[in-house]
Structures are given as C-alpha cells and as structure tokens.
Structure 1
Amino acid sequence: MANHKSSVKRIRQEKKRTLHNRYYAKTMRNAVRKLRAITDKEEALKLYPSVQKMLDKLAKTNIIHKNKASNLKSKLACHISKLG
C-alpha cells in the first residue's frame, strides 16, 4: 500500500481514468466491428462519419494512438469502397 497521501490520490485517479479509457476504447471497437459487419454500402456510408469522429476524438485525448486511428479510418474507408 502507498505511504504518501499524493500516491494514494494518484492511485484513485488512475483507477477512475483507466475505467473511463476502457469504456471509450471498447465503445470504439464495437463501432468499428459494427461498421465492418455491414454489407450495405448506403448504411456503411451513413455510419462512417460518426465512427471517424469517434476515432479522431479518442486519438486527440490519447486514448488510442493517432496512427492507430488513421490506420483504422483508412481500412474502414477501403472496406466501404469495396462494398457493392
């Protein structure tokens, strides 16, 4: 157990932050999965901007790396373009 008051606080903050980050990362993964599962191009095009916005926000707040966000957006755009 931590001995300093500040380290006890730090532990509390990290738990809260971890829970917050895990929630948003999981939400993002589910949204990406949902978009990949769609076979209709119209539906995919409607959903893509919201997923793209979510990825950008998470990259901006360092929940995911900016390159990971870029790679996911690129792959999703490629997936949508291949739909017929």
Structure 2
Amino acid sequence: MNRYQHKTTRNAIKAIRLATDKNEASEKLSSVISMIDKLAKKNIIHANKASNLKSKLTKHVAAL
C-alpha cells in the first residue's frame, strides 16, 4: 500500500510539473499537497522532503 501511494503521488507531481495551464495546475496542487502530507505523516517520506516538494511545486505553479 505504501508503494502504491508513493507512486501515485509521484505521478501526480509529474502531472503538475508538465501542466502548462495555471488554472489546471492550481486545482491539482491542493490535492497533491494533501497526498504529500499523508506520506510524510506515515513516514513514507521525510518531513523535510515533503516541505521541499510542496515549496517547489507552489513556486512552479505561481510562475506559470
């Protein structure tokens, strides 16, 4: 289950990074941030990695 959740989150992150429409990316952002937080809470990824991912994704969406 951990592997499935981690892979699903990675695919969602990739979808945001490849998105060219700001509205589409910002809609997906909140759900992806939620997924990242859940992974960090279950210690699947480190809390600092979660923070870095959220920060970089937010900056990316803002720059679109």
TM-score by length of 1: 0.73
Pair 1:65 & 2:46 matched: yes
Which sections of structure 1, spanning at least 5 residues, go unmatched? 1-19
Matched position secondary structure for 2:43: coil
Listed one character per residue, the Cα deviations across residues 8-52 of structure 1 (whole Å, up to 9, x for unaligned) are: xxxxxxxxxxxx221111111101001111010011111100000
Between 1 and 2, higher relative CO (CA 8 Å, sep ≥ 6) is seen in 2
Rounded to whole Å, the distance in 1 between the matches of 2:48 and 2:9 is 15
Other-structure match for 1:52: 33
- RMSD (Å), alpha carbons: 0.7
Runs of 4 or more, structure 1, over 2 Å off, are: none
What count of residue pairs does the alignment treat as equivalent?
A: 64
Rounded to whole Å, the distance in 1 between the matches of 2:34 and 2:12 is 11
Identity of aligned residues (%): 59
Which sections of structure 2, spanning at least 5 residues, go unmatched? none
Rounded to whole Å, the distance in 1 between the matches of 2:51 and 2:13 is 13
Rounded to whole Å, the distance in 2 between the matches of 1:73 and 1:23 is 20
Other-structure match for 1:33: 14
